[in-house]
Amino acid sequence: MSDAMPQTVLKPLAMPATLTQIGKQLAGYDPQALTADAVLAFLAQMVTPLAGTETVSLFQALDRVLAADVISPLSVPPHDNSAMDGYAFNGDSLPAAQSLQVVGTALAGKAWQGQVQAGQCVKIMTGAIMPAGLDTVVAQELAQVNGDRVEIAARLLQRGDNRRLCGEDLMAGQPALPAGTRLGPAACGLLASLGLAQVSVRPRLKVAYFSTGDEILSLGEAPREGAVFDSNRYTVHGLLTRMGCEVLDLGVVRDDPALLEAAFGQAAALADVIITSGGVSVGEADFTKAMMKKLGDVAFWRIAMRPGRPMAVGRIPQGGRSSEGDRSAVLFGLPGNPVAVMVTFLAFVRPTLQRMMGMTHAPLPLLKARSQAVLRKKPGRTEYQRGIVSHNAQGELQVIITGNQGSGVLSSMVQANGLIVLHHDQATTQVGEWVDVMMFDGHL
Ligand code: AMP
Ligand code: MG
């Protein structure tokens, strides 16, 4: 299983379809025994991209999602120009040209206007416009100056060398970036090269998060027996921030129906997505599941995966009541275990949020690496093991697991640079066998 959205195109449903309706569209949908792929197929049907656009300045555009195709208003570069400091000449004279007379200098930002005859050249700086009729540049290291003449190593040169063509980066009137592009540093620079000071982007996705569980301590609270500090709040905050979401932090919510109802109500009113952790496993004695069920259209899943088996998904209407025309927030009730939270986020939440952000799906890269250990597994569920990918002596990629794979053990997550994905039907892996690794470097 990769975190790729499924390729199967299902009949689009008029939104919003109920979870039951979506389930009916999926062959063999069984909330109690879902494959990881079925989860992705379901989620792809459950959400649509957020409507609306915003215009932001380029400094604010980093990590935003482009709302419309950008067509180049101009060509980049705007003229043929030199890629080197050297001498520009007419490539017609190659390969014979050995000695050329220097008749002028072309500087960057200052075109040289003169005419050049056969046997002549122009001294030229990087970025300067190629003078009329000249198409080739010899780097100054390959030219020997001798008074007003230069001797060039003509046999090392070809017509067009060291010349950058007008529009070779971007051509006026041609698409420069498609809608759905996540604007990284390179894309922001590219938009600037087109002279665009502002850009139309999708609204930022607002995601509200809270942790549940009576044993969960907020930082700063006095430790008490049986209680653990809330780590999920920080991993989820980080994961969401890296995705470019606006995070609304609602802290820890105690296992109390009134507090839970208030938290869900506030989250649904403020956010497009609600993420919680804890309280969704089978036999939970708390009120989280009951409250989700009461307030929204929510399915409780058991997924054939490890870590991460239980998960709740659905929609919680604004104000906590289902009525016609009410805006709903998408709900992800993640399991409580810290590593299960991160794995279910990467596998399911991330691609779903990308879809809501209107972003072109960008799965985490899946590499093949040789397993350094026997990885025991029975077919019938997808397993994710924390691993470190490196090179072996033969220069191939190898992966070693990071020790204790318990679903609460964050230290082995910290050491890892990827998750080994042992697919649903895969059995035990032997030493030296190739396995898929979902690389999360830079995302975690
Ligand atoms: P649950 O899914 O509620 O049964 O929780 C599973 C395990 O995860 C339990 O050991 C919880 O104590 C732990 N857990 C739940 N929420 C958090 C959290 N926010 N931070 C750290 N551990 C948690
Ligand atoms: Mg619990």
Q: Where are the domains of the chain?
A: 7-52+203-356, 81-164, 366-439
**Where do the DSSP E strands lie in 290-365?**
297-302, 305-306, 310-317, 328-334
Q: Which of 215, 225, 228 to mutate to test the pocket of ligand 1 (most atoms within 8 A of CB)?
A: 228
Average pLDDT estimate for 347-355: 97
**pLDDT score of 8 more than 50:** no
Q: Which of 212, 216, 343 to mutate to test the pocket of ligand 1 (most atoms within 8 A of CB)?
A: 216
> Given the CA of residue 288, which atom of ligand 1 is nearest to it?
3
Beta bridge partners of 298: 314
Residue nearest to atom 5 of ligand 1 (CA): 336
Cα of 382 to ligand 2 centre, how many Å? 23
Beta bridge partners of 99: 151
133 — pLDDT class (breaks 50, 70, 90):
very high
> Given the CA of residue 278, which atom of ligand 1 is nearest to it?
3
Instruction: Report every protein residue that has its C-beta within 5 angstroms of ion ligand 2.
Output: 213, 278-279
325 — pLDDT class (breaks 50, 70, 90):
low
122 φψ region: left (φ > 0), alpha (ψ -120 to 50), beta (else): beta
**pLDDT score of 334 more than 60:** yes
Cα of 329 to ligand 2 centre, how many Å? 23
Q: Which residue in 38, 49, 51 sits closest to 5, CA to CA? A: 38
Residue nearest to atom 16 of ligand 1 (CA): 336
Residue nearest to atom 3 of ligand 1 (CA): 278
- Beta strands 273-277; 328-334: pairing state: parallel
**pLDDT score of 168 more than 90:** yes
**pLDDT score of 4 more than 70:** no
Pocket lining: 276 vs ligand 1, CB cutoff 6 Å: no
Pocket lining: 336 vs ligand 1, CB cutoff 6 Å: yes
Pocket lining: 126 vs ligand 1, CB cutoff 6 Å: no
> How many angstroms separate the CA atoms of 382 and 385, rounded?
10
> How many angstroms separate the CA atoms of 440 and 325, rounded?
39
Q: Which residue in 380, 375, 382 sits closest to 399, CA to CA? A: 375
Average pLDDT of the chain, as a whole number: 93
What is the per-residue pLDDT for 281?
A: 86
Pocket lining: 213 vs ligand 1, CB cutoff 6 Å: yes
CA-atom Rg of the chain in angstroms: 29
Predicted confidence (pLDDT) per residue in 301-314, tens digit: 999 999 999 999 99
Beta bridge partners of 255: none
Task: Tell me the helices (H) and strands (E) count for the chain, helix number first.
Answer: 9, 26
Whether domain 81-164 has CATH 2.60.120.380: the reply is no
> Given the CA of residue 310, which atom of ligand 1 is nearest to it?
2
Cα of 337 to ligand 1 centre, how many Å? 5
Q: Burial of 220 by CB count in 10 Å (0-12 exposed, 13-18 middle, 19+ buried)?
A: exposed
Cα of 402 to ligand 2 centre, how many Å? 26
Residue carrying structure tokens 């026997």: 374
Residue carrying structure tokens 């090392």: 156
Average pLDDT estimate for 185-210: 97
What is the per-residue pLDDT for 5?
A: 45
What tokens appear for 189 in the block?
């620079």
Q: Which residues, in sequence order, are CB contacts of 180 under 8 Å at separation 6+? A: 65, 66, 358, 359, 360
Cα of 68 to ligand 1 centre, how many Å? 41
Overall CATH class of domain 7-52+203-356: alpha beta
Express as a percent the part of the chain with pLDDT over 70. Answer: 94
> Given the CA of residue 233, which atom of ligand 1 is nearest to it?
19
Cα of 235 to ligand 1 centre, how many Å? 13
Cα of 213 to ligand 1 centre, how many Å? 7
What tokens appear for 417 in the block?
């640079």
Q: Which residue in 70, 72, 57, 73 sits closest to 179, CA to CA? A: 70
Average pLDDT estimate for 401-421: 96
CA-based max dimension of the chain: 92
What is the per-residue pLDDT for 17?
A: 87
> Given the CA of residue 211, which atom of ligand 1 is nearest to it?
19
What is the per-residue pLDDT for 132?
A: 95
Express as a percent the part of the chain with pLDDT over 90. Answer: 87
Beta bridge partners of 334: 277
Q: Burial of 259 by CB count in 10 Å (0-12 exposed, 13-18 middle, 19+ buried)?
A: middle
Q: Is 300 helix (H, G, I), strand (E, B) or coil?
A: strand
Average pLDDT estimate for 279-287: 79
Same fold: 7-52+203-356 with 366-439: no
> How many angstroms separate the CA atoms of 335 and 277, rounded?
5
Average pLDDT estimate for 250-266: 96
Q: Which residue in 323, 273, 274, 315 sits closest to 296, CA to CA? A: 315
> How many angstroms separate the CA atoms of 289 and 308, rounded?
16
What tokens appear for 41 in the block?
């197929």
**Which phi and psi (to 5°) does residue 88 adopt?**
-95, 135
CATH tag, 366-439: 2.40.340.10
What is the per-residue pLDDT for 10?
A: 42
What is the per-residue pLDDT for 315?
A: 96
Q: Is 202 helix (H, G, I), strand (E, B) or coil?
A: coil
Q: Which of 212, 332, 337 to mutate to test the pocket of ligand 1 (most atoms within 8 A of CB)?
A: 337
**pLDDT score of 204 more than 70:** yes
Tell me how far apart the terminal alpha carbons of the chain are, to the nearest angstrom. 19
For residue 226, give the amino acid letter.
Answer: G
Predicted confidence (pLDDT) per residue in 52-68, tens digit: 999 999 999 999 999 99
What tokens appear for 230 in the block?
């809330």
Pocket lining: 180 vs ligand 1, CB cutoff 6 Å: no
Cβ atoms < 10 Å from Cβ of 358: 21
Average pLDDT estimate for 211-239: 96
For residue 358, give the amino acid letter.
Answer: G
